[in-house]
Amino acid sequence: MIERRPFVQKILKNRQTNLRVVSGLGTSTWDLMSGGDDKANFGFIGAMGQAIPFALGLAMAQPDLRILLFTGDGDTLMSLGSIATVANHPVANLTIVVMDNESYVETGSQPTATAGKTDLEIVAKGSGISNSYTIKNEKDYDRLIKTIYEEEGPSLVVAKCQAKATPLIFPHSFDGSVSINRFMSTLKS
């Protein structure tokens, strides 16, 4: 099992300037912010289920950048259909990393469907995202970096994580308009 916070921090440590990172609500956003404040990040704090469609729209609008989405299994399960939409509107520059801890850890660690019979890698493949795989420990780190920066997407990587609560690390602002304008200042329009 992957310890999610050091894992996210390691991925972001030597990030390239062509990377833009989006995170789904809750723990994924706190994880992203633990890697340091960066204008090239945008973290959801609500609108559950919307991170994947948002990342798709961003990737379509900015084909010369690499787009990385960190999100959780709960957020992903809320909008499974969006995986089919991503698959059918191919975006070569998009990598979705599902930090799958098999639980709604922020609300008391109730089990999600992935704690049961649901496998998001198979869901992604069945939806038409052929570049989908599961990683379970840090030795898969190099493969993931290659996917993020070099491979033709869309890609969906399931990172099996420990289900433990981590300290809250808040973004620069809770005001979405501040966050999005800060993020947009790093993009050419």
Partner 1 sequence: MEGVIKDWRNDIYKVFKELDITMVSHVPDAGHTPLINLCEKDNEIDVVTLTTEQDGVGLSCGAFAGGRKSALLMQSSGVGNCINALALPNICRIPFLTLVSMRGEWGEFVPWQVPMGLGTPKVLEAMDVKIFRADYKEEVGSTVDAAARFAFNTNRSAAVLLSQKMIGAKQFKNG
Residues that bind partner 1 (CB under 8 A): 22, 42, 44, 46-62, 79, 81-82, 84-85, 88-89, 175-177, 179-180, 183-184, 187-189
Q: At its nearest, how many Å lie between partner 1 and the CB of residue 181? A: 8
Residue placing its CB nearer to partner 1 in the complex, 89 or 136: 89
Q: At its nearest, how many Å lie between partner 1 and the CB of residue 171? A: 13
Residue placing its CB nearer to partner 1 in the complex, 59 or 129: 59
Residue placing its CB nearer to partner 1 in the complex, 44 or 104: 44
Q: Say how many residues make up the chain.
A: 189
Cβ atoms of 73 and 98 within 8 Å: the answer is: yes
Cα–Cα distance between 92 and 185 in angstroms, integer?
A: 23
Residue placing its CB nearer to partner 1 in the complex, 3 or 175: 175
Based on C-alpha coordinates, what's the Rg of the chain?
A: 15
E strand intervals along the chain: 19-23, 41-43, 66-72, 94-100, 103-104, 110-111, 131-135, 155-160
